[in-house]
Amino acid sequence: MSLFPNLKQKDTALAKTISDKLYMIEKLVGKKIRKNKELFITAITHSSFSGENKGFNSNERLEFIGDSVLSLAITHYLFDRFEKLPEGELSKKRAYIVSEKSLSEKAYNMNIGEIMLFGKGESKSGGKFKKAILADAFESIIAAMFLSYGFDSAEKFIINSFLKELRELNNIEATDYKTRLQEIVQKNTHKVPEYNIILEEGSQASKIFVAEVKVKGKKIGEGKGQTKKEAEEAAAMEALKSEYIRKFEETTITK
């Protein structure tokens, strides 16, 4: 029985494309896909393609669950490997791996952009090089692995994909998020981020600080920490994920 049986007879070229894409996904994940084949095709389907082709769903919902599975798998790995590191340092290492920059570069190197299904407009505009699209597709494939074969298989795929980066974590300095945020903000707005401690929780022995960061009066991030510095770093890390900052960053992979 063929994939997407509702395809009309005249769509034999599309049916062949879908079959070829499935084969490419199998090569990518290192597994013969015998069930939920349509789910894996959905994982590589951009909304521009589903909008032009009835019967196809975009990968947006899968990206939602893939993001959580990825985060859990990396968290599990870091927790086991770095037994003496505090929560704050573990979070920084995890952020290095699961950032859009890291995901999109990994997806690009794995040729996920070539596997994806795009509509005509998105294909012409270079969708296969766009960072957000690549990162989302990678997370969607992770979701398909999780939903089809369980967490263990998804985790194995994730760890194998990032093995080189994970092994290099010992040699990577903790990211200074405040410095990175300031560089982006100054370059694009000629202003500097402003930090405020907006809440102090707990006793003197176990106090938690909550910080916010603003640019030109607009709040773009909030974070917690055991010190004011940690809270400000956490707020800067969240700000770097915000739409306000992401619009300033390069949106495509440089070929």
For the CA atoms of 141, 143, 149, 150, the dihedral, rounded to the nearest 10 degrees, stands at: 150
Catalytic: 139? yes
Candidates 171, 136, 110, 143; CA nearest to 40 is 143
| β 194-201/218-225 pair status | unpaired
Catalytic: 67? yes
Q: How far is the C-alpha of 224 from the C-alpha of 118, rounded, in Å? A: 40
Q: How far is it between the farthest Cα atoms of the chain?
A: 72
The active-site residue out of 63, 122, 139, 230 is: 139
206, two tokens: 């176990």
- Distance set, CA 133 to CA 112, 118, 141 (Å): 10, 10, 12
List the catalytic residues: 67, 139
